[in-house]
């Protein structure tokens, strides 16, 4: 049994919780919700406050609502006009569109009004398993059978599990979530990279000249060449022991766009190709930068409760993932302003 939640103005976690509640209850949040045509904005704001604080303190929504009703000090701290009923909370949240949730949190957790920073962006891409809290012993005979909703998956660092696989892209400088994709089961990393880069490129979260950093799981000749020829980005994908860079270099030929009235792309392509061949030899120098996405995964799992979920459908899991990563980004920003290091958040 977990200890009761007692707001403490001297505790950094409660101070951060206060900032989060202030952002969710702000005029900007209400305007954003109105633009998204969310009915009953005030009730929606109350629900978001309950959900986000429950996630921050790793509480089940039913337990948090019960404590909110009994703990007057906690109720004043959260500042909800009306404590939502658990059934109403689930029903209202299930009707929300995932894009609307992302737009809402991206808007209220915005930490800078500046547009895209000048110069290249360093994009970290990695995947992690998302396990659902399912009694696999009781359901062991149903898992993996045809027509059933769950099946066993395997991830090297986790072993066998039931759930999903999440691929995430973040800005290496500020931990901002750029995009994500949730897969049922555990598909091979290398096969998911090109469709994910297409999604990033189409949404303009990744542009020509940017540098993407991935681990060895994404290493394949097809991925190296597609990143350079289709997206004009520098792929620092850690090479495997058997990766033949000479063969990859020999297969780097200008794309057809260069000869289809876009001759200016030839100089860009040559520059990116040269930079790739130079930087891939120094891939070990990017270890510290790439480790930041591992730290982020530790924060969302160990601090924000994404390690084992009580959501059981792809849609509900995706909603939880979306708001958790936006919360993690804002949490890192607030903690930095208080002199708390990113790696310290893992042990909260």
Distance from the first to the final alpha carbon of the chain: 18
Asked whether the predicted pLDDT for residue 332 surpasses 70, the reply is yes
pLDDT-derived band at 258, boundaries 50, 70, 90: confident
Q: How many residues in the chain?
A: 348
Better pLDDT: 135 or 345: 345
Unique residue bearing structure tokens 């658990």? 86
Q: How many CA atoms, within 13 angstroms, populate the side-chain half-sphere of residue 63?
A: 12
Minimum mean pLDDT range among 108-112, 192-196, 212-216: 108-112
Asked whether the predicted pLDDT for residue 4 surpasses 90, the reply is no
pLDDT in the model for residue 348:
78
Residue 22, classed as helix, strand or coil, is helix
Instruction: Give the span between the Cα atoms of 252 and 294, in whole angstroms.
Output: 31
Structure tokens, 74: 């906690």
Q: Which residues contact 137 (CB under 8 A, 6 or more apart)?
A: none
Contact (Cβ atoms closer than 8 angstroms) between residue 250 and residue 208 = no
pLDDT in the model for residue 118:
65
182 bridge partner residues: 166
Cα 223-182-331 angle, rounded to 5 deg? 105
Q: Which residues contact 344 (CB under 8 A, 6 or more apart)?
A: 335
| pLDDT tens readout for residues 103-160 | 999 999 976 545 555 678 999 999 999 998 876 665 555 554 445 567 788 998 888 8
180 bridge partner residues: 168
Q: Which residues contact 247 (CB under 8 A, 6 or more apart)?
A: 221
CA 252, chain centre distance (Å): 32
Instruction: Give the span between the Cα atoms of 196 and 237, in whole angstroms.
Output: 15
Minimum mean pLDDT range among 111-120, 275-284, 297-306: 111-120
Instruction: Give the span between the Cα atoms of 77 and 89, in whole angstroms.
Output: 19
Contact (Cβ atoms closer than 8 angstroms) between residue 45 and residue 30 = yes
């Amino acid at each position: 049994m977990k200890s009761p939640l007692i707001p403490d103005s001297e505790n950094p976690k409660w101070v951060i919780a206060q900032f989060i509640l202030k952002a969710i209850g702000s005029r900007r949040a209400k305007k954003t919700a109105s633009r998204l045509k969310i009915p009953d904005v005030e009730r929606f704001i109350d629900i978001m406050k309950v959900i986000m604080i429950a996630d921050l303190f790793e509480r089940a929504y039913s337990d948090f609502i019960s404590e909110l009703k009994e703990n007057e000090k906690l109720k004043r701290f959260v500042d909800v006009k009306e404590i939502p009923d658990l059934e109403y909370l689930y029903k209202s949240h299930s009707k929300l569109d995932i894009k609307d949730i992302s737009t809402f949190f991206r808007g209220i957790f915005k930490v800078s009004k500046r547009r895209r920073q000048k110069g290249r962006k360093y994009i970290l891409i990695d995947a992690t398993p998302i396990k659902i809290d399912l009694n696999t012993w009781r359901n062991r005979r149903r898992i993996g059978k045809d027509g059933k909703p769950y099946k066993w998956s395997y991830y090297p660092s986790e072993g066998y599990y039931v759930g999903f696989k999440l691929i995430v892209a973040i800005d290496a400088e500020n931990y901002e979530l750029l995009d994500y994709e949730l897969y049922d089961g555990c598909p091979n990393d290398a096969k998911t990279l090109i469709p994910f880069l297409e999604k990033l490129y189409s949404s303009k979260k990744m542009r020509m000249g940017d540098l993407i950093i991935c681990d060895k799981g994404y290493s394949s000749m097809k991925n190296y060449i597609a990143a350079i020829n289709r997206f004009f980005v520098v792929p620092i994908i850690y090479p495997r022991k058997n990766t033949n860079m000479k063969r990859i270099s020999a297969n780097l030929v200008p794309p057809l766009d260069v000869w289809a009235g876009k001759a200016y792309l030839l100089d860009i392509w040559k520059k990116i190709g040269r930079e790739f061949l130079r930087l891939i030899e120094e891939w070990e120098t990017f270890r510290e930068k790439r480790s930041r996405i591992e730290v982020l995964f530790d924060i969302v799992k160990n601090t924000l409760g994404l390690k084992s979920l009580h959501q059981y459908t792809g849609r509900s899991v995706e909603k939880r993932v979306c708001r958790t990563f936006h919360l993690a980004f804002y949490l890192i920003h607030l903690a930095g302003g208080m002199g708390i290091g990113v790696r310290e958040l893992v042990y909260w």
